[in-house]
Structure 1
């Protein structure tokens, strides 16, 4: 049986992972009706992104990007009351993924 070949941390597109975590977590929670299951998707993608940020950048940048990712998740809830669920999720995902690209992936 062959071992699973996991992509090296420096080769991972963290903007894509961030997008998958925030959008995928929202969709999973919404469609399954099980909010903690969406949290599992969010946490798994976040962990995968942190692994790469630590390899590509420094600790302060990793902490900042992680705070933005988690903060975006938190901010999407009150924002959804003002602009709607999908616009809120897309907004925070765009901000977090854009930051991940600029501060990590483009280097």
Structure 2
């Protein structure tokens, strides 16, 4: 089975989830995008980085999503989303993708 790089998956799902929720006005639909990306990335993390790194990466991914909400009040929605996406992608690359 081919290895899927997770850094672009997590970045795209955080940005895509926000964009879908914003454009459709349906927040659960944006959440579905976020969840789909998280499940895909999580499967790859378990396979290639192990359970400890997976727990850390899930924490960064979900923590970034959660932190983007209060951060948006301080710096704006797009900068907050891009910060969360960049942080999650960087962590994913460091802990999982660069090993491949």
TM-score tier by shorter-chain length is over 0.9
Question: Aligned partners of 1:78, 1:100: CA distance in 2, in Å?
Answer: 23
Give the secondary structure class of the aligned counterpart of 1:65. helix
Mark the structure with the bigger radius of gyration. 1
RMSD: 0.8
Runs (5+) with no aligned partner, structure 2? none
Summarize deviations over 1:75-95 as a string: whole Å, max 9, x none: 000000000000000011101
Residue 10 of structure 2 corresponds to 18
Summarize deviations over 1:30-88 as a string: whole Å, max 9, x none: 00000000000000000000000000011110000001101100000000000000000
Residue 3 of structure 1 corresponds to none
Question: Aligned partners of 2:51, 2:92: CA distance in 1, in Å?
Answer: 14
TM-score, normalised relative to structure 1? 0.90
Residue 46 of structure 2 corresponds to 54
1:103 matched to 2:92 = no
Question: Aligned partners of 1:99, 1:57: CA distance in 2, in Å?
Answer: 12
TM-score, normalised relative to structure 2? 0.96
Question: Aligned partners of 1:62, 1:20: CA distance in 2, in Å?
Answer: 18
1:66 pairs with one of 36, 58, 71? 58
Residue 88 of structure 1 corresponds to 80
Question: Aligned partners of 2:90, 2:49: CA distance in 1, in Å?
Answer: 16
